[in-house]
Amino acid sequence: MNPETERFYLRAFYGLLVFHFLIWFSLGMALDLHPDEADHWVWSQYPSWGYYEHPPMIAWVIRFYTFFLGNNQWAMEIGSQSITLLSFLGIFLLARKTFETRTAFLSVLCLEATPMFTVGSMIFIIDTVLILFFLWAALGFWNGYKQENNKAYYFAGLALGLALLSKVTAILFPFSGLLFLLFSRERRKVLRDPHLYAALLLGLIVFSPFIYWNMTHEWISIQGQLEKGLTGGKNWNQVLGFWFGQPLILGPVLFFFFLKGLWAGLKKFKEEDRFAYLVLLTVVPVLFFGLAAFRGKYSDPTWTDIGWPFGAILAGKYFSDRLSKESARKAIWIGGLIFATSWLPISLIATHTLHPFLPVENKNDRSLEMRGWRQLGPAVGQSYERYFPGQRRVFVVTDDYQLGGAVSFYTPQHPVPYSFGKSKRNIWVALDELKRKGAILVCTPENCEQDQAKARSLFSRVEFVSEIPIVRQGQVAKKFRLFYCSN
C-alpha cells in the first residue's frame, strides 16, 4: 500500500473515532444510565478485590473516572466511550499487524455498524473493560509470537491478568492461544519458550487477589458464575435465544459478511498463521457460550463480544480484498445496506426512547430501562430529608439490585442499597446497622406487596410514604412507591 493510501485510511480511522464519540456520548447523555451501570457504580463506592458473581475491574475503572470527574453521569459516559475507543484502537493495531491499514480501518468500520459495539458502547459494564484487555492481550501475544519479542509476551500476560480481573471468561484467551500453537507443528516449537510460561504466570499473579478474596468469601463469585452459566438448563429457549441473537447483535446483513470472512479464514487456516489465530479467537468464545447455553439457566447472546472483534478483522479483510474488484456503486450499495439494517433499528429505538411512538405497552418497553431515573432520584431524596435529616449514611432497600443501584446513583444522598433478591451481593451493608438506622423501601406497584413482606422481616415498621409517577412525553410511563422502614 502506497504512503498516500496509508495516510488516507489512518485519517479515516481517527475521523471514525471522533464520529463514534460524538454520536454515542451525546445519546448517552440524553438518556439515563442503564441500571446495570448504576449497580457497578455502587460497587465502585466500596472498593474490594471481588464482588458477587464477578471480579473487581469494572468497579476500579469506574472509581478512576469518578474520582477525577465526580459521581455524575458525565463521568460514566466519558469512561464508557473512552474505553470503547481504546478497544477500537486495539483492533485497528492488530488488524494492521496481521494485514494492512485498509483492512484495519474496514475492521473497525464493521464494528461501528453493529448494535453490539455502538449501542453497547453507551453502557459501562463488565464486558466494556473485559473487551479492552482481551484485545490488548491478543495484540501482545501476536507481537510476541511473530516478532519473537519476549517483552510483548509479558505485555500479553499483564493484559490477560487485567482481563481476568474484569471477567473470568477471559480464560478463553490462553485456551485459544494454546490451540493456535498446537494446530501446527511449526508453532508447537513456541511451547518450549520459558518466557511464554513466565508471561502466563504473570497474568495469574495479577489475577490472584480475586482468587484469595473468593477463598475468604465462600467462593461466592465462582459459584455464582457456575450456577448461572452451567446449571439449570431445562429447555431450548436459551439455546435458540443465543444462536438467533447473534445476527441481531451484529446486524443481519453484516452477520452474513462476518460468516463470509470467517469462511475465507477457515480456508486459509492451515496455510497462514494470521488466519488461524483470528479464526480461533473468533470461534472459541462463540462455541463455548453456544454450548454452555444448553446447560445454563441464563444465556446472553452478547457474551460473544470477546470473539466478534476478531471476526470483524476477517470481515474487514474480506471487504478489503474485494474493494478493488467490485465497482464503486456496488460497494456503496452493500455498505449502505449494512448500515441501514444495523443503524435503522437503532435509530428507531433511540427515537422511541426519547419520543415514544412505537406501539409497545409500557410494561414490555425495554427502552424505559434508561428513562425516569433522573425523575425518581430527587423525589426519593425528599423522603430522606424528611425521615433521615442530617444522617450521613442512609439506606435504600429493594428486591431488584438494579433498581437499588439506579436509586443510589440518582438520589442526592447516594443511599447504600440493600437488595432482597440477591442478598449475597450486599457486602457493603451490615444488617445490624441497616436495622438500627432504618431505610426507604422502593418498589413497583405490582411487586410492592411481596417487597413489604420481605421488609417486615427486617423492620417492625413499614409505612407508606408516596407514589412517584415517571412521566414521559406528558404520559405516566411507570410508577414507584416509597415506604419508610424502621425499628
Predicted confidence (pLDDT) per residue in 26-59, tens digit: 999 999 999 999 999 999 999 999 998 899 999 9
Which range, of 327-336, 345-354, 405-414, averages the lowest pLDDT?
327-336
Tell me: the pLDDT tens digits for 55-90?
999 999 999 999 999 999 999 999 999 999 999 999
Tell me: the pLDDT tens digits for 439-484?
999 999 999 999 999 999 999 999 999 999 999 888 898 999 999 9
Percent of the chain predicted with pLDDT > 90: 74
Pairing of strands 475-486, 461-472: antiparallel
The pLDDT of 413-417, averaged and rounded, is: 96
C-alpha dist (Å) from residue 284 to 193, 262, 277, 436, 459: 24, 12, 11, 51, 49
Q: Phi, psi (5° rounding) for residue 304? A: -80, 5
Pairing of strands 416-419, 461-472: unpaired
CB 190 within 8 A of CB 145: yes
Q: How far apart are CA 81 and CA 76, in angstroms?
A: 9
Residue 213 pLDDT exceeds 70: yes
Residue 378 in grid coordinates? 430527587
C-alpha dist (Å) from residue 479 to 278, 395, 402, 443: 48, 20, 16, 9
Percent of the chain predicted with pLDDT > 70: 97
Query: How is the beta sheet containing 475-486 ordered, strand by strand?
Result: 416-419, 395-398, 439-443, 475-486, 461-472
Q: How far apart are CA 64 and CA 67, in angstroms?
A: 5
Mean pLDDT estimate for the chain: 92
Q: Which among 313, 337, 372, 314 has a CA at the least distance from the CA of 90?
A: 313
Residue 190 in grid coordinates? 513456541
Residue 183 in grid coordinates? 494446530
Residue predicted with more confidence, 238 or 149: 149
Q: How far apart are CA 58 and CA 129, in angstroms?
A: 6
Residues 6+ apart with CB under 8 A from 90: 132, 135, 136, 138, 139
Q: Which among 318, 344, 77, 60 has a CA at the least distance from the CA of 206?
A: 60
Give strand pairing partners of 160.
none
Q: Phi, psi (5° rounding) for residue 400? A: -95, 120
CB 400 within 8 A of CB 376: no
- Axis-axis angle for helices 101-112, 73-98 (nearest 10): 140
Residue 91 pLDDT exceeds 70: yes
Residue 421 pLDDT exceeds 90: no
Tell me: the pLDDT tens digits for 259-276?
999 999 999 999 999 999
Place of cell 442499597: 417
pTM for the model stands at 0.94
Beta strand segments in 14-70, E: none
In order, the DSSP letters of 420-435 are STTGGG-TT--HHHHH
Alpha helices in 70-218 (DSSP H): 73-98, 101-112, 115-118, 126-147, 150-164, 172-182, 194-215
When pLDDT is cut at 50, 70 and 90, the band that residue 326 belongs to is low
Give strand pairing partners of 397.
418, 441
Query: pLDDT at position 228, please?
Result: 65
